[in-house]
Amino acid sequence: MAASWAEVLDLYGRALLDVERGFDDGIVAGFSFEIPSELGPLPAELAGVAASVAALSARVEERTRQAMHETAHEQAAVTRARRQAMRDRPRAKYVDVSS
């Protein structure tokens, strides 16, 4: 993993941009990023960069929520359509063909 806050913020920002581009391209990808615990406090000179990355993270989080909401609505529509198709399907009629 990266050794400095500058590297970590850069890597995290790039990972978030990849996720955001995936949303734009219709590609859902997994996301996993862990900030190393041994970095210590954030240097004051990186506060602006960290704020930008945090804003990007919030934007990606909101897009993720929206995608989850849309998926839930689509799943509900499929469930309703399946139920309706089952109700509208004609009842099976069995004919004894062995007689």
Task: Tell the residue number behind the tokens 């590609």, with chain if given.
Answer: 27
Query: Hey, how many other C-beta atoms are within 10 angstroms of the C-beta on 13?
Result: 17
Tell whether pTM > 0.85: no
Q: Distance (Å, rounded) from C-alpha 35 to C-alpha 57?
A: 13
User: What are 22-30's contacts with CB under 8 Å, separation 24+?
Assistant: 23/60, 23/63, 23/67, 28/67
Picking from 96, 95, 97, 31, the residue whose alpha carbon sits closest to that of residue 63 is: 31
- pLDDT tens digits, residue range 9-40? 999 999 999 999 998 888 877 888 888 888 89
Task: Kindly indicate the confidence band of residue 47, based on its pLDDT and cuts at 50, 70 and 90.
Answer: very high
